[in-house]
Amino acid sequence: MSVDAFTVLAEPTRRRILDRLRRAESSVGELVDTLGVSQPAVSKHLRVLREAGFVACRTAARQRIYRIDVRPFQAVDDWLAPYRQLWETHLDALERHLDRQEQ
């Protein structure tokens, strides 16, 4: 199943889950406690993130422990690269303009 990364990342709860997983691996229960979202909702969002490749999980005893998988983020970063360059070009132009104003 091919899922658009931006569609996956557009959902605020999924972004909050990723922000939490960026700091540390977590179980579903830990995410529920941290985010204040119901267990079924967290599980649903984790399934979407897992199917899109943004998270992976391992089993520890009776828990699934989730972590970020950075590979899909590289595709997002690759797509953003030309826009980042455009933004930097505009900032450079602004800096030159401000430097001329100070002279």
Q: Are 46 and 53 in contact, with CB atoms under 8 Å apart?
A: no
All structural domains of the chain, each given as residue ranges with its CATH number in brackets, are: 5-102 (1.10.10.10)
Q: What is the pLDDT of residue 59?
A: 92
Sheet holding 63-68, edge to edge: 26-27, 63-68, 55-60
Rounded to two decimals, the pTM is 0.78
Closest CA to 50 of 75, 78, 79, 71: 71
Over the stretch 37-76, which tens digit does the pLDDT of each residue have?
Answer: 999 999 999 999 999 999 999 998 899 999 999 998 988 8
